[in-house]
A and B are shown apart, each in its own frame.
Chain A
Amino acid sequence: MRSDPSRAGWGLKAATWAGVLFLHIPLALIILYAFSAEDKSYVFPPPALTTQWFAAAWAREDVWAAIGLSFRVALISTALAMVLGTLAAAGLARTRFFGRDAISLLLILPIALPGIVTGIALRTAYHTMEIPFSFWTIVVGHATFCVVVVYNNAVARLRRTSPSLIEASMDLGADSFQTIRYVILPQLGSALLAGGLLAFALSFDEVIVTTFTAGQQTTLPIWMLQELIRPRQRPVTNVVAVVIIALTFIPILVAYYLTRADEQPNGR
């Protein structure tokens, strides 16, 4: 429902913008701190501004190793999630059968239950089956909770796609595989891309399930967590934080623009 903005009370407007500021000031502060010359504490305001810490962060081996691991994990997990999520969406989007809602719930569960439950469940399973921690133990956890992100995007798009498009394609002589290639995938395209971007961001940032399934390995969030608990070189951490903000900012914005039309109830 829509009312004239000028009729909103000033109290309401103040509360709204105060809330938005509350959400964003901490992020702005981090960006400021990345340039702070002080390296022993979090003193405010920063005594001087410098860009030296960017070079220092660039030189840190452990940071690069963590970024590399996070990146590889996110890539593989996203790929797996995209396959599983698309298959599930294709199977569930327009069908109605007994148990359909239960399956939807199952897909959402890894994100709906607290991360600690998913994390310890996987940890327990690995422990019981005596599987050692490895790259794949992390990927399995990540792929599992990334599926629902891709699934939601794919289902939203499939619901907006007219089923007669598939029938028309087959009517004109294209078999199932040709139809997938020439009609279904192009229709799904941007939704899958958006889902993949979101899944990537989710995996890149995830820390709770990862700490349970990584053992001694260090992803970027785990690195960040260690720095939070026992700071080694505060300014470098600030710089890394700014880099993370930038890295996750972009996929989110792109994904938003790709699927804006799917959110509106009236579509196009």
Chain B
Amino acid sequence: MSLALSAAAPVMPRGGALRRLSDLLYTRRGLLMVALLGPPLLWFGVIYLGSLFALLANSFFALDEFSGVVNRSQLTLQNFREMTDPANVDVVLRTVAMAVSVTLACGLIAFPIAYYMARYARGPQKALLYIAVMLPLWSSYLVRLYAWKLLLAKEGAISWVLAEVHMTWLLDAVLSTPGIGGNSLSFSRLGTFIVFVYMWLPFMILPIQAAIERIPGSLLEASSDLGARSGTTFWKVIFPLAMPGIAAGSIFTFSLTLGDYIIPQVIGDSTLFIGQVVYRQQGVAGNVPFAAAFSLVPIVVIGVYLWIAKRLGAFDAL
């Protein structure tokens, strides 16, 4: 064999600062970690946590009504007292009620879709369904909102369809119902509800689909082997195992509805939701401290909801 392998050739070391730096990072793992995690942690610590802290701090300041300037020299609970006004409590209750109903509706509509996708769809049909659900999720929120504005308008597609089937009387009846009606669908509580459900539906479908997909087929076989019919298998085996997925999806729908201020403003009647109050207070009213205090409400509510969802196993499904 004419291979010059008689004497072992030394490995040519590259000199230079880069190599010495590489040596240092290799032998000192701690240093490597600092180099890797330092920048992101610094960014998140200073910018994100810092601003959250500023938010919390500001909620204890107050706006001096006469001068219009925020008084930073003095801590006060005035904002929190203001939040207990009946008008503000109404806002909170209204928003939470909407969030709960949207979550329920999304769950009901999403489940069959997710179930079919996970259990029966195969190959190209599965990919098609997945993309069909994913695209609205990632495409523009505002465009989708705009599309509903068109649909719900007095002269829009829904009115037209109802007129064609002579059901306009139904629409008028719904619109004149206090609490959910309004001038037209595009300025009503019902309209707001429909749009919320539409917007967050993909967020509910995907976690449920993932959860059902993870159920091993052998469990279903075991269930039928032991004598259960499909209805029993569904309620006793599939549904409980899909629960974490439902809980995970509900976190999204609940949290997203709770904080949204755009849909109520564009589609809603003139009653206010939490997000709108926060937005107005920090903008037009210049009362950043009150806005800060009020925005703690969704944080607390979501915190409670997350705690409940965790008990239901949502975090295992995320």
| Interface residues of A, Cβ cutoff 8 Å to B | 1-5, 7-8, 12-13, 15-16, 19-20, 22-24, 26-27, 29-30, 33, 41-45, 83-85, 87-88, 90-92, 95, 97, 103, 106-107, 109-110, 112-118, 120-125, 127-128, 140, 143-144, 147, 170, 173, 175-177, 198, 201-202, 205, 207-208, 211-212, 221, 224-225, 227-229, 237, 241, 244-245, 248-249, 252-253, 256
Contact = CB atoms under 8 A, between A and B. Distances in A.
B142 A205 contact: yes
B22 A175 contact: yes
Contacts of B295: 116-117, 120-121
B39 interface: yes
B260 interface: yes
Given A121-B52, A228-B266, A19 B44 contact: no
Contacts of A122: 47, 51
B138 A87 contact: no
A259 to B, nearest CB: 12
Contacts of A144: 43-44, 47-48
B151 A88 contact: no
Contact of B150 (A42, A110, A127): A42
B26 interface: yes
Contacts of B39: 83-84, 87
Given A124-B55, A248-B140, A253-B131, A41 B217 contact: no
Nearest to B36: A91
A26 B156 contact: no
14 contacts: A5-B122, A15-B116, A19-B201, A44-B155, A45-B160, A109-B48, A116-B259, A120-B55, A120-B292, A124-B292, A207-B142, A211-B279, A221-B140, A229-B266
Nearest to B26: A176
Given A12-B116, A103-B41, A27 B160 contact: no
Interface string B214-227: 01110110000000
Contacts of A97: 33
B171 interface: no
Given A1-B220, A20-B113, A173-B12, 4 more contacts: A5-B121, A12-B120, A114-B255, A124-B288
Highest count of chain A CB atoms <10 Å: which of B14, B26, B47, B160: B47
Highest count of chain B CB atoms <10 Å: which of A23, A143, A202, A229: A23
B98 to A, nearest CB: 14
B285 interface: no
Interface in B29-75: 33, 36-37, 39-41, 43-44, 47-52, 54-55, 57-58
Contacts of A44: 150, 155-157, 159-160
Given A120-B55, A245-B139, A16 B37 contact: no
A103 B37 contact: yes
B175 interface: no
Contact of A2 (B141, B147, B217): B217
Instruction: Label chain B's interface by main secondary structure.
Output: helix
Contacts of A7: 120
A205 B57 CA distance: 30
A82 to B, nearest CB: 12
Given A1-B215, A23-B136, A26-B144, A91 B120 contact: no
A42 B156 contact: yes
Nearest to B205: A19
Highest count of chain B CB atoms <10 Å: which of A85, A123, A252: A123
B155 A42 contact: yes
A8 B119 contact: yes
B115 A241 contact: no
B44 A1 contact: no
B141 A140 contact: no
A106 B48 contact: yes
Highest count of chain A CB atoms <10 Å: which of B54, B55, B122, B150: B150
A224 B25 contact: no
A256 B113 CA distance: 20
A7 B119 CA distance: 10
Highest count of chain B CB atoms <10 Å: which of A12, A26, A244: A26
B143 A244 contact: yes
A123 B143 contact: no
A120 B291 contact: yes
A238 to B, nearest CB: 8
A16 B58 contact: no
A144 to B, nearest CB: 6
Nearest to A143: B43
